[in-house]
């Protein structure tokens, strides 16, 4: 009878032989499982730079001062000394009215002064002569009082006549209408021979707009008011504008005015900036894009805004590591400035972040950086013709 203890080694040996036989019979051409290809992505490098804090808005150019020229006296236009669209300086002669009626009034007023002066001199001389008689009690007190009253009356009349002369001279001066400010003239509304009335509300001779310097009026949300007031108090509030049609840029604006209340309907507050506009390129009435700089974030870590995604855990960024794998990081965003985002925590300058292709990524997946130009070229390249 065979010993049972001797049977187990035989069985184990047979199992080993069977395993080796199966291994030898496995087909040599079986496919091998390969790693997935890297995910193509676009990347950018986080940089450290100074980023201005700015408030964007839309405004309109307006003349810093506008004056509608009117006549201060009734008269007839004798001569016009400017052309439409002329640049004039303060004090330049614009219009001359017919002077003859005013010159005649001045002559009459001066003649009245001569007559009043003679009467006042006679009354004063009579009063001095009768003072001695009054001291000697040679005349009555009533008679002396009448002489005193006459002297005072003629003196007052002389002053009134002299004032009439001054007024006539003033009215004569108003026949020469001069520019009160420097600027550019607009359309001429009245011509030679036209009758003008003093301070006529219906008509003005011409309107002058001051173009240099010039103002830009715009509105910002009330949430920006504190930052603007702080920058204005510290004299670091700079304003730049860009014309929406021509693209003309001006960066030398100075914030001069902040309105004293917020519009309760719109929640906006009106501001006004002044530009030197020496070349008169900014034109009243045109719309401009306005940028108000209220400060600078210095040495900030900046990435493209497309690199930052929002999740349930907050803002996240995929970082491409040296071994071409990606890491998902939660970051703290300081603020967004246009197409860039300032990162307060989570990203260091010099690290590479993914800006496009995040939907195909998972932490630890390998990625292949591609330039934007390469991606565009691949998308627009002509496809080979299909073989028939």
**Is 90 exceeded by the pLDDT of residue 266?**
yes
pLDDT of amino acid 147: 83
Q: What is the mean pLDDT of the chain?
A: 86
pLDDT of amino acid 31: 58
pLDDT band at residue 140 using 50, 70 and 90 as cut-offs: confident
The residue that leads in pLDDT, 258 or 13, is 258
pLDDT of amino acid 21: 44
pLDDT in tens, 213-254: 999 999 999 999 999 999 999 888 999 999 988 899 999 999
Query: Distance between CA atoms of 101 and 344, rounded to whole angstroms?
Result: 79
Residue with tokens 């497309």: 306
Q: Please indicate, yes or no, whether the overall pTM of this predicted structure exceeds 0.85.
A: no
**Is 60 exceeded by the pLDDT of residue 173?**
yes
Say which residues have a Cβ less than 8 Å from residue 232's Cβ, sequence separation at least 6.
Answer: 255, 258
**Is 80 exceeded by the pLDDT of residue 18?**
no
pLDDT > 90 in the chain, percent = 71
Q: Which of 85, 337, 316 has its CA nearest to residue 208?
A: 85
13-17, 259-263, 373-377 — which one is most confidently predicted on average? 259-263
Query: Distance between CA atoms of 151 and 277, rounded to whole angstroms?
Result: 63
Complete domains list, the chain, with CATH: 42-49+299-377 (2.40.420.20), 53-64+211-297 (2.40.30.170), 71-208 (2.40.50.100)
Q: Which of 90, 101, 64, 250 has its CA nearest to residue 182?
A: 90
Query: Distance between CA atoms of 123 and 77, rounded to whole angstroms?
Result: 45
Cis amide prior to 264 (ω within 30 degrees):
no
Residue with tokens 């045109």: 286
Is the CB of residue 88 less than 8 Å from the CB of residue 94?
yes
pLDDT band at residue 26 using 50, 70 and 90 as cut-offs: very low
pLDDT in tens, 146-172: 888 998 999 999 999 999 999 999 999
pLDDT of amino acid 138: 65
pLDDT of amino acid 1: 42
The residue that leads in pLDDT, 13 or 51, is 51
pLDDT of amino acid 13: 40
pLDDT of amino acid 36: 82
pLDDT in tens, 206-219: 999 999 999 999 99
CA distances to 5, 139, 189 from 74, rounded to whole Å, are 143, 54, 17
pLDDT of amino acid 146: 85
pLDDT in tens, 126-139: 888 777 666 666 67
């Amino acid at each position: 009878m065979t010993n049972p203890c001797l049977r187990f080694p035989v069985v184990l040996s047979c199992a080993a032989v069977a395993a080796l036989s199966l291994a030898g019979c496995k087909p040599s051409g079986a496919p091998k499982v390969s790693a997935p290809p890297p995910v193509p992505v676009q990347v950018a490098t986080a940089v450290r730079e100074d980023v201005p804090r700015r408030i964007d808005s839309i405004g309109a150019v307006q003349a810093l001062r506008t004056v509608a020229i009117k006549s201060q006296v009734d008269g007839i236009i004798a001569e016009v000394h400017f052309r439409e669209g002329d640049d004039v300086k303060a004090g330049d002669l614009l219009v001359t009215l017919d002077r003859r009626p005013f010159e005649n009034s001045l002559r009459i007023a001066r003649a009245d002064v001569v007559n009043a002066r003679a009467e006042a001199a006679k009354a004063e001389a009579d009063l001095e002569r009768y003072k001695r008689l009054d001291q000697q009690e040679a005349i009555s007190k009533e008679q002396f009082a009448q002489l005193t009253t006459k002297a005072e009356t003629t003196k007052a009349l002389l002053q009134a006549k002299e004032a009439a002369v001054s007024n006539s001279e003033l009215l004569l001066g108003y026949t020469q209408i001069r520019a009160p400010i420097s600027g550019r003239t607009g359309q001429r509304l009245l011509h030679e021979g036209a009758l003008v009335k003093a301070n006529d509300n219906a008509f003005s001779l011409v309107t002058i707009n001051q173009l240099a310097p010039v103002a830009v009026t715009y509105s910002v949300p009330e949430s920006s008011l504190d930052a603007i007031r702080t920058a204005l108090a510290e004299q670091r509030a700079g304003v730049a504008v860009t014309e929406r049609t021509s693209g003309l840029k001006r960066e030398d604006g100075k914030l001069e005015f902040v309105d004293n209340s917020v519009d309760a309907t719109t929640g906006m507050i009106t501001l006004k900036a002044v530009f030197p506009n020496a070349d008169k390129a900014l034109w009243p009435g045109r719309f401009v894009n306005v940028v108000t700089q209220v400060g600078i974030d210095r040495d900030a870590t900046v990435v493209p805004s497309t690199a930052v995604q929002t999740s349930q855990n907050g803002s996240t960024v995929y970082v491409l590591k040296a071994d071409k794998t990606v890491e998902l990081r939660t970051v703290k965003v300081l603020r967004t400035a246009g197409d860039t985002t300032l990162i307060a925590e989570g990203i260091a300058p010099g690290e590479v972040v993914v800006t496009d292709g995040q939907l195909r990524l998972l932490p630890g997946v390998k990625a292949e950086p591609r330039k934007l130009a390469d991606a565009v070229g691949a998308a627009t390249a002509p496809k080979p013709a299909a073989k028939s």
